[in-house]
Structure 1
Amino acid sequence: MTDKLNPGVARDIGRRIRALREASGVSLSRLAQVSDVSRRMLTQIELGQANPSIGTVDKVAAALGTTFPGLLGVVDHAPPSGVEIWSTPDDSWAYLLRAVETRDLSVELWRLRLVGEETHRVTPSAGAPDSLIHVLEGRVRITGDDDRAADVAEGHTGTLAAGTEHRLAALTPVAAFLRVVMVPRAHP
């Protein structure tokens, strides 16, 4: 499974969360209450001792009035190759290539690669519209939480329905794809 952050990214995000929390005068207890992430987990994230899922970071970011890309500092300033968010020993990986934000929405462009039997879990974001994947190499199976599946071939685009958890898997030895994600921004 590929839903945990690279340790370096997790440490950077933890430092940024702490800095934003302290700058805004929010206590750990208050952030835990607003984000629905336990105080213990928040402490571990801030100290770089936890490897949270992207979904957990999204909750904390929203509670702080920012986004996952905002915590990484890649909104409109991403390096040309993006930021490696996670990777596995089998050479599956995900890069956040670029993000732009409006007052109401964060639009993220990701490039992912799945190798062999590895899968990637996509959790829904409240209020988010459908997202898209465009397969660059191989073939990808999208399986929803209702176990319905759709296969997307190289050069084609598939939809991940909003409000549904999905599992993405390679149907070929290697599958690479782009994913466009739109995340509603919380307004404090």
Structure 2
Amino acid sequence: MSEQIRPDVARLVGARIRAIRTSQDLSVVSLAERSGVSRRMLTQVELGQANPSLTTVDKIAGALGTSFSALIGVLDRPAPDGVAVWSTPAGSWAYLVNAVETPAATIELWTWHLIRGDRYEAGAAVGAPASMVHVTGGEVRVRVGEADRLIDPTRSARLDAGHDRVFEAASPVADFVWVVTIPRDAEPT
């Protein structure tokens, strides 16, 4: 499984990206240059015809001077259980529970439920600080670059953001909390 977001969230994000872009009087070409995302992909995202990765949405949001958390409304009024952002047919899921923005960064709090056999792949976030993972149930295997780490229940770990990260359940089911910091001047995760 890749880091693509749920189709309903992708449509919401696309509409908000288009609204912000037009309110800033930016063309799709200008936003493509600012974000490093192709014009074709931007158009497809805005129309809800693409299911972009979180990395792509973070790049677009950063170029617009906002964040993924703001695009889905978590900053304005967080839902009690968060917003379901990622899921699989097997039953794995991820919710963005809350977020805080500072002038320097966005800090996101995620809760995850992975079923053995599913995986979540997160790209590297060059320049971002380490993220923090706390396992609340089961065991989580995380590959950071070439190194594998097994995180037991009730244990925590820091994960280097400068490398790709792959999360998998090492037990039949694994639950964990992930805190991610996205600096304003770093390539997002």
TM more than 0.5: yes
TM-score normalised per structure 2 = 0.95
Tell whether 2:87 aligns with 1:87.
yes
State the Cα distance separating 1:124 from its structure 2 match.
Answer: 2.1
Unpaired runs of 5+ residues, structure 1, are none
Contact 1:4–1:54 (CA<8 Å) still a contact in 2? yes
Describe the superposition over 1:46-77 as per-residue Cα deviations: whole angstroms up to 9, x where unpaired.
00000000000000000000111011111152
CA offsets, 1:99-144, max 9 Å, x none?
Answer: 0101111000000111011111121223210001100110011112
Query: CA offset at residue 162 of structure 1?
Result: 2.2
Correspondence 1:20 to 2:20? yes
Q: TM-score, normalised by structure 1?
A: 0.96
Query: 10-19 or 120-129: which moved more?
Result: 120-129
Q: What is the distance in 1 between the residues matched to 2:113 and 2:134?
A: 12
Segments of structure 2 that go 5 or more residues without pairing to the other structure are: none
Runs of 4+ with >4 A deviation = none
Which amino acid in structure 2 is aligned with residue 82 of structure 1?
G
Equivalent position of 1:168 in the other structure: 167
> Residue type matched to 2:163 in 1?
T
Q: Secondary structure at the match of 1:65?
A: coil
Larger mean CA deviation between 89-98 and 116-125 belongs to: 116-125
Q: Indicate the residue corresponding to 1:180 in structure 2.
A: 179
* Count of aligned pairs: 186
Q: Matched residue of 1:19: which SS?
A: helix
Q: List aligned pairs for 1:127-142, cutoff 5 A.
A: 127-142=127-142
Contact 1:2 1:118 in 2 (8 A): no
CA distance in 1, matches of 2:158, 2:185: 24
Inter-partner Cα distance in structure 2 for 1:142 and 1:64: 32
1:156 and 2:155 matched: yes
CA distance in 2, matches of 1:55, 1:162: 13
CA–CA distance in 2 between the matches of 1:57 and 1:51? 10
* C-alpha distance in structure 2 between counterparts of 1:131 and 1:76, whole Å: 23
Q: What displacement does 1:160 show?
A: 1.0
